[in-house]
Amino acid sequence: MKRREFLTTGALGAAATTLAAPAVAQGVTQWSMVTAWPKNLPGPGVAAQTLADRITTLSGGRLEVTLHAAGEIVPGRGVFDAVAEGTAQLYHAVPAYWGSKSKGILLFGSQPFGLRADEQVGWMVHGGGQALYDEMYGRFGIKPFLCGNSGPQWFGWFRNEINSVDDLKGVKYRTTGLASEMCAEIGMAVQAMSGPAMFQALQSGALDAGEFIGPWTDSALGYHQVAKNYYWPGIGEPSSAEECGVNQAAYDALPDDLKGVVATACASLYNDVWTEYETKHARALKKLVETEGVIPRKLPDSVVMEMGKAAGKVMEGLRADEDELVVRITESFLAYRDSVGSYMTYADNGQMNARAMVLGY
């Protein structure tokens, strides 16, 4: 699909339209899924459609899910409220978009200098994260499930090179989630907007730089046409989990086997989505470099260190939050990150460093 089509289908601001209550006919329950993405956008748009189809298939057709892309029923950033209010039964988006609801939500999606995609699942399943996830979203009448991950994101597209942290001060930059707060701490002028809107802002000069996801999705949106310096590592989002939020009342009304279908569909999609991103990011980056003149550039170590200090301030703010649930989520995340991170020095990190030494064999 062409970038122009994404810009058209991804346009936000459409007036919300109230959907009918879930239809039930001849034993079939019909649900509507609203998403934060243009239809079939490589990466999240594709994943959203796959999830809708998988729920329908695993239920044997007893639970039919129809997808509505961003702007078709509600704006992309309106899907959380639409499901909370019962306008739709479920949504596909990322936790990083819901910081205005509670900063504690942001930790379930991505964290500066935080968890990798596999570690994020580890925290959810084995570190107490899912119970906290349920407790937080339960405040809004939503049952949440992780259902995918982009893997490591990039720091983004820049017209100019970065040599020191001073080069970032005042830079108009698109990012989201806790990365926004980290970048603001070092003096960047952070702006939130959709992926398609980011292209238009880069093109017009309203933005100096920005990040969205990674090479596969980013190339489809055409950022390389207006900025050639592509910076890594994406320290703001070492991974970014995708989620499915289900209206709690609609979920509770399902028989137990269909509740299991929804949960299984989400869990089974996580690795499929994550590995597709990793595979297609690699292919897309090779093409961007070889045919589009894109230059991958590493952030200077001095910049990474300054961002680490800024991220530390953000985390201290969360640990001192007046909401005790936010504090519990933060402490749980930090404890899991530090525990598994200390082990990864010997395990995955050691293996990757060793492989890099002899990659040419």
Query: In whole angstroms, what is the distance from residue 94 CA to residue 109 CA?
Result: 6
Query: In whole angstroms, what is the distance from residue 113 CA to residue 12 CA?
Result: 31
**In what side-by-side order are the strands of the sheet with 295-298?**
189-191, 172-174, 209-210, 156-158, 229-232, 295-298
Query: In whole angstroms, what is the distance from residue 152 CA to residue 277 CA?
Result: 10
CA dihedral 226, 228, 232, 237 (to 10 degrees): 10
The response to whether 333 counts as a known ligand-binding position is: no
Q: How far is CA 234 from CA 124, 224, 247, in A?
A: 22, 17, 32
Query: In whole angstroms, what is the distance from residue 3 CA to residue 91 CA?
Result: 23
Q: Name the nearest CA neighbour of 61 among 26, 33, 28.
A: 28
The response to whether 85 counts as a known ligand-binding position is: no
The response to whether 212 counts as a known ligand-binding position is: yes
The response to whether 119 counts as a known ligand-binding position is: no
Look at the chain and count its residues.
Answer: 361
The response to whether 139 counts as a known ligand-binding position is: no
Residues 6+ away with beta carbon under 8 Å from 43: 150, 213, 214, 216, 217, 277
Query: Residue 262 corresponds to which amino acid?
Result: V
Tokens matching residue 111: 């964290």
Q: Name the nearest CA neighbour of 116 among 218, 237, 217, 233.
A: 237
Query: In whole angstroms, what is the distance from residue 202 CA to residue 184 CA?
Result: 19
Tokens matching residue 77: 């950033």
Q: Which residues are annotated as a binding site for Na(+)?
A: 212
Q: Which residues are annotated as a binding site?
A: 153, 174, 211-212, 237
Q: Which residues are annotated as a binding site for substrate?
A: 153, 174, 211, 237
